[in-house]
Amino acid sequence: MLVTGAVITVRNGRAAVRVPRAALHCAGGECHGCSVCKDASRAFDDIPVDVPPSVKVGDAVQLQMRLPNEAVAALCVFGLPLVGLLVPAIGAWAAGGGSAVVFGSGGAGLVVGILAMVFVEKRLQVLGYGARFAGMADQGADTIAPGGEEPHV
């Protein structure tokens, strides 16, 4: 999937490209009803990507984005906390611990599982969602200004 955005920073061959969140979450122009694009405080995402030396701040560029994998997302959101809950609880039960030990270890494991989920999600953001520089956008491309506001026509 190709998305168009504006370069907001460039440093050492790596740029932050500001793209509308709706372009990332509404793949192919289809709204899936997730309401991501309705949150005005987070209307844009800044995606880190490697760029050639000719790219400058303010340039309109196209990024090749990897479509999100729903199975990986479900595993992160549901699997990590569930494993964090069950493994310590089953281990404490198998070791002959009382109910307080089982519930305590299960609760602690759940917290660790949720923290692991947050870490994985943040790491995916740092990696840039699999974004690759695809080229400069056309001058007439529908893009955004570097400050985040829509372009004036």
Hey, what are 61's tokens?
């560029």
Instruction: State the chain's mean pLDDT as an integer.
Output: 76
| Closest alpha carbon to 6 in 54, 47, 53, 35 | 47
Residue 8 has pLDDT above 90, yes or no: yes
Distance CA 21, CA 8 (A): 16
**Is the confidence at residue 7, as pLDDT, over 90?**
yes
Confidence band of 150 (pLDDT split at 50, 70, 90): very low
Alpha-carbon distance values, 76 to 80, 100, 106 (Å): 6, 28, 18
Q: Confirm whether pTM is higher than 0.75.
A: no
More confident site: 142 or 18: 18
